[in-house]
Amino acid sequence: MRVIHFFVGIVSLFYLAATTSCSESGATPTPTPAGNLQLSVEALAVSYEKQTADITVEADWEWGVYPQVDWITASPSGGVSGTTKVRLSIAENKTGDVRQGSVEFRINGKVIELAVRQNYAVEAVSIADANFLAALLEDHDTDGDGILSTKEASEVRRIECSSKGIRSMAELGVYFTQITSLDCSDNELKKLDVSKLTKLQSLDCSGNNLTSIDIQNLQSLTTFDCTDNPSLATIYVWFNFSAPAGFSKPASAEYVEPDIPTPEGYQLVWHDEFDTAGVTSPSTDKWWYETGDGGWGNNELQDYVSGGKYNGTRIAEVSDGTLKITAQKIDGKVRSVRMNTVEGWTYGYFEGRLKLCKGRGTWPAFWMMPKNFRAWPDDGEIDIMEHVGYHENFVSSSIHCKAYYHSIGTQKTHELYLATATSEFHTYACEWTPEYLKFYFDGKLHFTFNNDGRGNKDTWPFNAPFYLKLNLAWGGNWGGAEGVDETCLPTTYEIDYVRVFQKIE
């Protein structure tokens, strides 16, 4: 016990001596830094391009830099007391929208935040009428840069441009298809194309110089005023039209319905009746041609020609209200046409009225392919109607995808007997929704392919835009399976109309 007490006494004495020595030395303790940090800017606003920004840091203690988003990096990542330059590297903004981020500067338990705002790449809309553009900028230039961007245009839901001296609004269907209200009254308009504004609920085009207006695609309209158009004679409306209470028109104008039956719940969005006076070939505003004689993956024998002609001979001709595609042998080779719609659609009701051609070796089709095609059959194919000449009284509908196609024996198809396929016109249609593809002959359902709901592109790639195709092949793996008979040439595939309907939203 005495030993322990002695040890404690020595330690206590040592501590007392040490503390007395320090206090007697007169040394001043070093003060703790306050942790102050200042930045050369309070916030950053930058353009969409990849770039760097230099920030000057004034600090009285050690500090660190911590970007809070993955599109900003900093160098160096920290520093000590004094003045330091920090370089921020900012990636290009490809998101199509303004983005916000921040960089934290931390010192002695404190956080100083630098906000960073990066703009997106601005693509300006092109508006020909200066007064229309000025009216749009006044109401919809949300960032105040004097430019109406495509992004700003896509967000517009109401256009109010009454009494602005506007003579043309030709860009409505290009940039403003989402609007629900349009007031263009008391301007100087002679034409007004609203055919693509299918979400419109209110339209005031009174007080202009219109002679006609087509609203047949605007079945959501509840308010419509076209009064005070002195020369307005015709208002084209939808099938089975009944004027809502909110419709007003001049007494001189009449409502004219199309002679086009529309599936219930759908509206007509595109059609070609092939009956325009004075027109002798398919409209290049609606159709484009695939050309070549490379067999098309099926060992086909025909040469598809450009523009529907070959050396002055019409292969695709519009006459007497129908399109006629005629396969004929010219200069030692069978010439024909493969034509596609310029537009594409995701889902809808697609219908054609067709009279098929005769002859062993013929292979007419009415079908659909992906607008952004990459690989077959992965991206899908929809065959609304196919027919081969050696099997004259039968027509078929099919789908193709990676899991289901003929080369591996899994193709989904249905064939039906039709004694008058080559002597009379019949309607062939496909209803395409996210849930199913249904195929019709003269309005009667004959084949259904259902989405299995697994979200697997191998079994359902049918969720992207497809375009329509009309063609007449000669020979090939299927068309020529029993040989070809050139004595049937020339032979004609005749199309009365092609129509596209989409659901009313």
pLDDT of 405 above 50: yes
Average pLDDT, the chain: 91
From 379, 343, 76, 406, select the one nearest 196 (Cα to Cα): 343
Q: According to DSSP H, which parts of 277-340 are helical?
A: none
Tokens of 431: 């209803």
- Cα 353 from Cα 429, distance rounded (Å): 9
Q: Per-residue confidence at 97, pLDDT binned at 50, 70, 90?
A: confident
pLDDT digits (tens, 9 = 90+) for 189-199: 999 999 999 99
Q: One-letter amino acid identity for 67?
A: P
Residues paired with 158 in a beta bridge: 181
Q: What is the pLDDT of residue 30?
A: 61
Q: Per-residue confidence at 219, pLDDT binned at 50, 70, 90?
A: confident
pLDDT of 271 above 80: yes
Q: What is the pLDDT of residue 3?
A: 36
Mean pLDDT of 424-433: 98
**SS3 letters across 145-211:** CCCCEHHHHHCCCEEECCCCCCCCCCCHHHHCCCCCEEECCCCCCCCCCCCCCCCCCEEECCCCCCC
* H or E element in which residue 5 lies: helix 2-25
Q: One-letter amino acid identity for 306?
A: S
- Cα 111 from Cα 161, distance rounded (Å): 49
pLDDT of 390 above 70: yes
Q: What is the pLDDT of residue 490?
A: 96
pLDDT of 96 above 70: yes
pLDDT of 19 above 70: no
Report yes or no: 140 and 125 within 8 Å, Cβ to Cβ: no
pLDDT of 34 above 90: no
Mean pLDDT of 158-184: 97
Mean pLDDT of 150-177: 96
67 contacts: CB under 8 Å, gap ≥ 6: 73, 74, 88, 101, 102, 103, 104
Q: What is the pLDDT of residue 1?
A: 37
Query: Of residues 152, 171, 300, 381, which has the active-site annotation?
Result: 381
Lowest mean pLDDT across 64-78, 158-172, 288-302, 389-403: 288-302
Q: What is the pLDDT of residue 131?
A: 98
From 331, 317, 327, select the one nearest 358 (Cα to Cα): 327
Scan for tokens 């020369």, then name that residue.
231
Scan for tokens 């996210």, then name that residue.
434
pLDDT of 462 above 90: yes
Q: According to DSSP H, which parts of 242-376 are helical?
A: none
Mean pLDDT of 29-48: 86
Domains of the chain: 37-118 (2.60.40.10), 123-259 (3.80.10.10), 271-503 (2.60.120.200)
pLDDT digits (tens, 9 = 90+) for 468-483: 999 999 999 999 899 9
Report yes or no: 68 and 103 within 8 Å, Cβ to Cβ: yes
Q: Per-residue confidence at 32, pLDDT binned at 50, 70, 90?
A: low
Query: Of residues 300, 317, 351, 386, which has the active-site annotation?
Result: 386
Tokens of 382: 């929809």
Angle made by CA atoms 260, 263, 268, in degrees to the nearest 5? 55
Q: What is the pLDDT of residue 122?
A: 79
Report yes or no: 169 and 146 within 8 Å, Cβ to Cβ: no
Q: What is the pLDDT of residue 239?
A: 73
Mean pLDDT of 115-139: 94
pLDDT of 436 above 60: yes
For the whole model, what pTM was predicted? 0.56
Does the annotation mark 386 as catalytic? yes
pLDDT digits (tens, 9 = 90+) for 295-343: 888 899 999 999 999 998 999 999 989 999 999 999 999 999 999 999 9
